[in-house]
Structure 1
Amino acid sequence: MASRYPSSLWIRLPLFMLFLEVAFILIFSFLFSYDYYLEYLPKGHNIYPEFQDVNVMVILGFAFLLAFLKRFGFSATGFSLLLAALSVQWTMIVNEFLFHFSDGNLKISLQRITEAVMSTAAVMISTGAVLGKVNLIQLIWMAWVEATLFAVNRWVAVSVLQIGSYTSLMHVHLFGAYFGVMVSWALCRPLPDSRAENEKSTPVSDTFTMLGTLFLWMFWPSFNAVLIASTEKRLTALINTYLGMAASAVAAFSISVATNRNGKLTMAHIRNATLAGGVALGFSASTLRYPWIAMIVGLGAGATSVLGFVFLKKCLEPAVRLHDTCGVQYTFGLPSLLGGIVHIVWIAIDSRENLSVGGYSALIEGGALCLSMALGLTGGLLTGFSLRLKLWKEPHATNYFDDQAYWGFPHLAVGY
């Protein structure tokens, strides 16, 4: 017999989603207005192509990247769209209240929507860590909490630590990865042997996932450059990101072959580690003045990602019961941490003639990096424990990684 939602969730889920959407509509109705002045500036028009690039990344790229499980493709892609739709709206509201409420300036503009879409990447990344092990209402709650905490993290970084708004957004990979990892750890329970088979992929599902990787790979330079005001720095970020991602792709293929006892490529390495260069260069893409440095960073990020999949994943899962479905720690967490460290070191080196200023800037950037790590870990841990409450009707382990628990099928599908 096909798996079914607990009957109480049939009522709670649609009511919960509709309640959130009605609340969003009311908030936008009474508190927000269009920022026509910004939208009709030339810069406001020029941002649209990059906005669409970022939109494709978050909506399509991440959805397909999560679609590698052979019996969880509907949920990976469908849930991603819903989470993105809810998270973007809520992030816009929280961002406006944190950054602009004191000015009485709650506006809607393409730039602010772009910031919200980029922030939503944290939710998409965290979803990869818990994919297949939580139900939809749990995912919505997790997304709501995470979107709020990441906005708070950005506000503290920008308003208190005085780092740039663009740089604060680039913490999205680190925050999302370790938030999701801690949620997964808090929820962890032994995986039944019957469900372990569903955690595998098929050639078709791997092909769809690789399609997501290709979209992300193509558009990642826009993600790292879209909100940079200076034309020169924006072009620098585009070039450095592209070259860094090219280097990380070469590293991913090379290390994947080198670490396989049969000398063959592993699809999990390729679909994830080829993106590591873009993640690592998020912090410093616009400040690195030599392309070869960006290429070295990309090479190191790609190698770090593959080695994490090969060695760390095998150690962490049995040692600390850390089950990361998509390996987000190795795709986003470690490369982002590497990129943050490179950014701090580069600030110190680039300001060597004025060490007092450079040292202070490096210290502030290091503090922002630690803040994102600490808030992501703590917030994820507390959110994970909250998701274990009985009111969420946590799915039984026998329903892990199975679309039939959430989607209607014309017949009982067995091995689709």
Structure 2
Amino acid sequence: MGACQSFREMCDREKNTNVHLSLPAVCIVWQTAMIILFGVFMRYDHESDAHWVEHRKHSNLTDIENDFYFRYPSFQDVHVMIFVGFGFLMTFLKRYSFGGVGFNFLIAAFGLQWALLMQGWFHWLDADGKIRIGIENLINADFCVAGCLIAYGALLGKVSPVQLMVLTLFGITLFAVEEFIIISVIHARDAGGSMVIHTFGGYYGLSVSWMLYRPNLHQSSRLQGSVYHSDVFAMIGTLFLWMFWPSFNSAICDHGDGQHRAAINTYLCLASTVLTTVAISSLFQKHGKLDMVHIQNSTLAGGVAAGTAAEFMLMPYGCLIVGFCCGIISTLGYIFLTPFMEKHLKIQDTCGIHNLHAMPGVVGGIVGAITAASASIEVYGHEGLVNTFDFMDKFKDMVPTTQGGHQAAGLCVALCFGIGGGIIVGAILRLPIWGDPADDNCFDDETYWEVPEEEEMSPTFICRGFVLFSYQTNDAVIAFCCSRLYCIQSPLDGSTAQFWDYSHILM
């Protein structure tokens, strides 16, 4: 107990947010390590190597049969989700948009390099000790990065960029190990990553947040909220994610019916979730008004839950049921569970990843287990059953009921790695060497970013009893009154001010 108390006291000493040396050192050293490791291990696969021409002729193929032309459209969509969708979804905080987008960029750029190596060592290492890289590797690396970006959502505004790099280093490593166990050892199917990505990433972030609990975070409550334009920017991220999620869940499915079915299943789950989210949000808000937090996040929960069973015969009506249930669970989570977790479980979840990723990921794992266990030759056909669940080689004698048990085991592995790994990494990140902000300095870009000075807003006019807030340009004053925008021409020359209504302009 004495050692634990000493550790807490050491971790809770006065914060120093100066990362002038630590951040450049981490970035340069780790990028140098990536260059060296890529030089030693990484090579092009046969479809991206210059010898493709010879291979094509020898195998009687054409260029259109190169996997690039099948996978690259999906890769583009997934890549946009990682850098634009996740990035803009985190811009809802009024003073942390630079951190939301910029640190998302940093995590993804480093994470995809480390993921190519980690996943390569587990899945694609040749007999000559080289990792052969192609378009599918890039998609899987983006999937790996997604788990760390999900975890970042729970810590948004409360950690330093150095801590985020450490979080990503360990997160990618844990992801690669749990993915190998779930996919290759247990033989669970998880095309869209409900278990491997969302369940792991969600509980990894929540466990780290629990370890980094800040009892005095209320000192930054003035910044822990949104303003009108920040919610609009976050909604841009939501729409990108919502539109491209069918590509995310179908990106690495088998060509043909599996990929086709995964896109349809995800599409229907997402559509059902939107209506349910709107209904629950309106039902539990005063006067039936909608909460933008719910619309930004819970409308995506169906895509998360569709991941594991994406290529299964879930059936169109089954997709709508899954989306319906996730809309309810996720929205109620934001209303009731998030406050409960912060007050009683000491888990401060900035973005509500428990409601968007963790719980829907568990739902997706359960749906996948049930759907796999109930599969039959009548529904799939013999060849379809073998192809969908990969009943080949050492798993050729497996039956659907056994596969359902393996799916459930995969979910347990994801939970164990997420929670256990998060606790260990959280303990490391508590050390007072990472430059994290003090409790009264969270959710503010100025801690780690050069922020342009804003025009000071001051009350300068009274119009029909309401204060006009304004700032001066070269020849006019731009004024705001009752949420409407006005231009007051030459108000300082002694003449009568002339008002033009510019409220139709989108600011």
Whether the 8 Å contact between 2:154 and 2:350 is mirrored in structure 1 is yes
Query: Which of 23, 29, 36 in structure 2 is aligned with 1:19?
Result: 29
Query: Which of 42, 63, 72 in structure 1 is aligned with 2:87?
Result: 63
Larger Rg: 2
The 10-residue stretch of structure 1 (358-367 or 264-273) with the greater mean CA deviation from structure 2: 358-367
Whether the 8 Å contact between 2:373 and 2:405 is mirrored in structure 1 is no
Query: Which of 142, 151, 159 in structure 1 is aligned with 2:184?
Result: 159
Residue 41 (structure 2) pairs with residue 31 (structure 1): yes
Residue 390 (structure 2) pairs with residue 366 (structure 1): no
Q: Which runs of 5+ in 1 are unaligned?
A: none
Whether the 8 Å contact between 1:79 and 1:136 is mirrored in structure 2 is yes
Match of 1:86 in 2: 110
Change in CA separation of 1:131 and 1:289 when aligned onto 2, cut-off 3 Å: closer
CA RMSD of aligned residues (A): 2.1
Residue 53 (structure 2) pairs with residue 46 (structure 1): no
Match of 2:138 in 1: 113
Whether the 8 Å contact between 2:204 and 2:421 is mirrored in structure 1 is yes
Instruction: Say which structure is richer in helix.
Output: 1
Residue 420 (structure 2) pairs with residue 378 (structure 1): yes
Query: What one-letter code is carried by the residue in structure 2 that aligns with 1:287?
Result: F
Q: 1:185-217: CA deviations, max 9, x gaps? A: 100012344410100100100000000000000
Query: What one-letter code is carried by the residue in structure 2 that aligns with 1:212?
Result: G
- How far 1:392 sits from its partner (Å)? 1.6
Change in CA separation of 1:5 and 1:36 when aligned onto 2, cut-off 3 Å: farther
Change in CA separation of 1:367 and 1:200 when aligned onto 2, cut-off 3 Å: same
- How far 1:359 sits from its partner (Å)? 2.2
Aligned counterparts of 1:218 and 1:338: Cα–Cα separation in 2: 21
- How far 1:244 sits from its partner (Å)? 0.8
Q: Residues 225-244 of structure 1: matches in 2 within 5 Å?
A: 225-244=250-269
Query: Which of 79, 83, 95 in structure 1 is aligned with 2:119?
Result: 95
Instruction: Say which structure is richer in strand.
Output: 2
Change in CA separation of 1:334 and 1:165 when aligned onto 2, cut-off 3 Å: closer
Whether the 8 Å contact between 2:204 and 2:422 is mirrored in structure 1 is yes
SS in 2 for 1:166: coil
Change in CA separation of 1:197 and 1:168 when aligned onto 2, cut-off 3 Å: closer
Whether the 8 Å contact between 1:352 and 1:358 is mirrored in structure 2 is no
SS in 1 for 2:20: helix
Residue 387 (structure 2) pairs with residue 345 (structure 1): no
- How far 1:274 sits from its partner (Å)? 0.5
Q: Residues 109-188 of structure 1: matches in 2 within 5 Å?
A: 109-164=134-189, 166=191, 171-188=196-213
Aligned counterparts of 1:368 and 1:326: Cα–Cα separation in 2: 26
Match of 1:212 in 2: 237
Change in CA separation of 1:102 and 1:164 when aligned onto 2, cut-off 3 Å: farther
Match of 1:286 in 2: 311
Change in CA separation of 1:167 and 1:250 when aligned onto 2, cut-off 3 Å: closer
Whether the 8 Å contact between 2:374 and 2:401 is mirrored in structure 1 is no
Query: What one-letter code is carried by the residue in structure 2 that aligns with 1:109?
Result: G
Match of 1:327 in 2: 352
- How far 1:286 sits from its partner (Å)? 1.1
Change in CA separation of 1:232 and 1:71 when aligned onto 2, cut-off 3 Å: same
SS in 2 for 1:171: helix
Aligned counterparts of 2:456 and 2:375: Cα–Cα separation in 1: 59
Query: Which of 388, 391, 412 in structure 1 is aligned with 2:430?
Result: 388
The 10-residue stretch of structure 1 (88-97 or 311-320) with the greater mean CA deviation from structure 2: 311-320
- How far 1:168 sits from its partner (Å)? 5.9
Query: What one-letter code is carried by the residue in structure 2 that aligns with 1:198?
Result: L
Whether the 8 Å contact between 2:265 and 2:319 is mirrored in structure 1 is yes
SS in 2 for 1:33: strand
SS in 2 for 1:391: coil
Whether the 8 Å contact between 1:154 and 1:165 is mirrored in structure 2 is no
Match of 1:10 in 2: 20
Aligned counterparts of 1:279 and 1:411: Cα–Cα separation in 2: 39
- How far 1:5 sits from its partner (Å)? 6.2
Higher RCO by CA contacts (8 Å cutoff, separation 6 or greater) = 1
Change in CA separation of 1:35 and 1:372 when aligned onto 2, cut-off 3 Å: same
- How far 1:43 sits from its partner (Å)? 2.6
SS in 1 for 2:287: coil
Query: What one-letter code is carried by the residue in structure 2 that aligns with 1:47?
Result: R
Change in CA separation of 1:192 and 1:168 when aligned onto 2, cut-off 3 Å: closer
Match of 1:336 in 2: 361
Q: Which runs of 5+ in 2 are unaligned?
A: 1-14, 50-62, 379-384, 386-396, 458-507
Match of 2:333 in 1: 308
Change in CA separation of 1:76 and 1:27 when aligned onto 2, cut-off 3 Å: same
- How far 1:351 sits from its partner (Å)? 4.0
Aligned counterparts of 1:350 and 1:124: Cα–Cα separation in 2: 34
Query: What one-letter code is carried by the residue in structure 1 that aligns with 2:400?
Result: G
SS in 1 for 2:252: coil
Q: 1:63-112: CA deviations, max 9, x gaps? A: 00111000000111000001100000000000111123363341121110
Whether the 8 Å contact between 1:252 and 1:302 is mirrored in structure 2 is yes
Q: Name the TM-score, length of structure 1 as normaliser.
A: 0.94
Aligned counterparts of 1:164 and 1:347: Cα–Cα separation in 2: 9
Q: Name the TM-score, length of structure 2 as normaliser.
A: 0.78
Q: 1:327-381: CA deviations, max 9, x gaps? A: 0000111111111111111112224999982221111111110000111001011
Aligned counterparts of 1:162 and 1:414: Cα–Cα separation in 2: 60
SS in 2 for 1:295: helix
Match of 2:505 in 1: none
Aligned counterparts of 2:74 and 2:124: Cα–Cα separation in 1: 24
Whether the 8 Å contact between 1:154 and 1:169 is mirrored in structure 2 is no
Q: 1:309-331: CA deviations, max 9, x gaps? A: 11111222111111100000001
Change in CA separation of 1:239 and 1:11 when aligned onto 2, cut-off 3 Å: same
Query: What one-letter code is carried by the residue in structure 2 that aligns with 1:72?
Result: Y
SS in 1 for 2:312: coil
Whether the 8 Å contact between 1:118 and 1:169 is mirrored in structure 2 is no
Aligned counterparts of 1:273 and 1:166: Cα–Cα separation in 2: 21
Match of 1:407 in 2: 449
Whether the 8 Å contact between 1:54 and 1:114 is mirrored in structure 2 is yes
